[in-house]
Amino acid sequence: MDGFGLVLGGGGAKGAYEIGVWKALRELDVPIKAVTGTSVGALNGAIIVQGDFDVAYELWTTISIENVINVEKEIVAAGEGGRKTIPIINTIKNLITNGGLDVSPLKEMLNKVIDEDKIRRSPIDLGIVTFSLTDFKPVEVFKDEIPEGKLVDYLLASACFPAFKPHEIDNKKFIDGGIYDNIPLSLMLKKDIKNIITVDISGVGFVKRVNKRGINIIEIKNSEDLGGTLEFDGERSKENIELGYLDTLRVFGKLKGHKYYFIPNKEFDEGKEFIKSLDINYLKRMYAFLGLDIGVRKSAANKIILDKIIRTIQQYSNGKLSLEGVFPAMLEIAAEQLGIERKRVYTLKELSERILEEYNKIIESENYKENMPWINRLLLARTQLEFDKELLKNAFDKKYLISYDANIEEKDEKVKRMRRFIAMAFPKIVISNMLIALLLERENVQREKAVD
């Protein structure tokens, strides 16, 4: 394979995610033939072509708004004084109204980190997009089309966010290329590269439509919110870099999972073995857990409940409901509902243990005990309407319902009725409760085997 084209979207402070993508591509030894970028994608693209990962990482993990914008003293004073952010926002609005924000700190930073000679000597091509206000037309250029000594100027022109002062080059004013093409795939296609990786960081801008026929495109997009466009913060950047890294490894098949990240080794088959170890058909067990009629004649309500649960599990298993996919999907749902850390790699066993740790912490907490009377009132609800009204009366913390009576062998019809009511509105809560019940049962089975 000759190499991939790498297309980097714009999005301001969200651009740290693209450094995480680059980290993964380096680790995977994915050859890059050319990079095209808009706005922050152009800035990151230049450093990628330059080949200085450590420089990029240091820049992003130490960055602050002061490294980008020459903010008025009263903004800093307002922030340091612990006052509300309204004065800061108002000052920024005033600066924009008076001609735009001054990004001289950004220019100074780029002059320090960008090595134009190194970029021009690199075998990797670089293309950027900006927009000329003077000529009122887009400007798409590759590095050999940029005049010597003007590379940083063109990078600044591409990254000239509408709130910034327009950047001038040779008496012409330029603004952010995102108003023309925020993910410049069309520019990459001019290089006749057939294998392309696009990185979408949910930036604000237009995306030019192109004919993708005959092109192998691998799309990478942030799997969770990356923060604000001007939220330049080193700690947030570290999180976004890690997210970009993990998302990329998953796209390339090195990790599995829907929202969480699993190692796809032989242990991943634990999902199938886990269901088998229960020595019962999964669907039958779901029926029993909810107290549904397992016979031929089923009520409309039963069908709705099962449909909600099955569809929810399918969402976390790539739209499929295979035996081996049920367990990982349920794990992800429970972990998400319990607020377990997502930006790390787990084995199925590790995430199972983490879920049980969180469960034990909840049921032993004073808050859980204090909420028991409320849960008992829910148990007494005879209809969905009564149940919903009781929920509305209280500050609803899903963790308590997830952890309540996680017993796969529960016989009390009041508990099963409550589970059905919850499933109608909150299927993820019932799935999480069921998953914990199954994990606890497996623990008991393993403990009994160890004793024998």
Pairing between strand 125-132 and 137-142?
Answer: antiparallel
CB 305 within 8 A of CB 360: no
Alpha-carbon distance of 428 to 333, in angstroms, equals 6
Please compute, for residue 400, the number of CA atoms within 13 A of its CA located in the half-sphere on the CB side.
Answer: 18
Q: What is the sign of the dihedral through the CA atoms of 183, 186, 191 and 197?
A: positive
H or E stretch at 408: none
**224 in Cβ contact with 20 (< 8 Å):** no
Q: Tell whether the torsion through CA atoms of 218, 219, 222 and 224 is positive or negative.
A: negative
Closest Cα partner for 7 from 142, 161, 157, 128?
A: 128
Do 362 and 340 meet the contact criterion of CB atoms below 8 Å apart? no
CB 239 within 8 A of CB 40: no
Catalytic annotation, pick one of 125, 176, 181, 200: 176
Question: Kind and range of the H or E element at 3?
Answer: none
Residue 54 is a catalytic residue? no
Do 419 and 290 form a contact (C-beta atoms < 8 A)?
Answer: yes
Place of tokens 């107290």: 291
Contact 271, 328 (CB under 8 A): yes
**Which residue in 45, 68, 28 sits closest to 184, CA to CA?**
45
Respond yes or no: is residue 277 known to be catalytic: no
- Catalytic-labelled residue, pool 39, 158, 186, 223: 39
**Non-local CB neighbours of 174 within 8 Å, separated by 6+ positions:** 130, 131, 132, 133, 139, 157, 158, 160, 166, 167, 168
- Indicate if the alpha-carbon torsion angle 178, 179, 185, 188 is positive or negative: negative
Give kind and range of the element (H or E) at residue 199. Answer: strand 195-200
Residues known to be catalytic: 39, 176
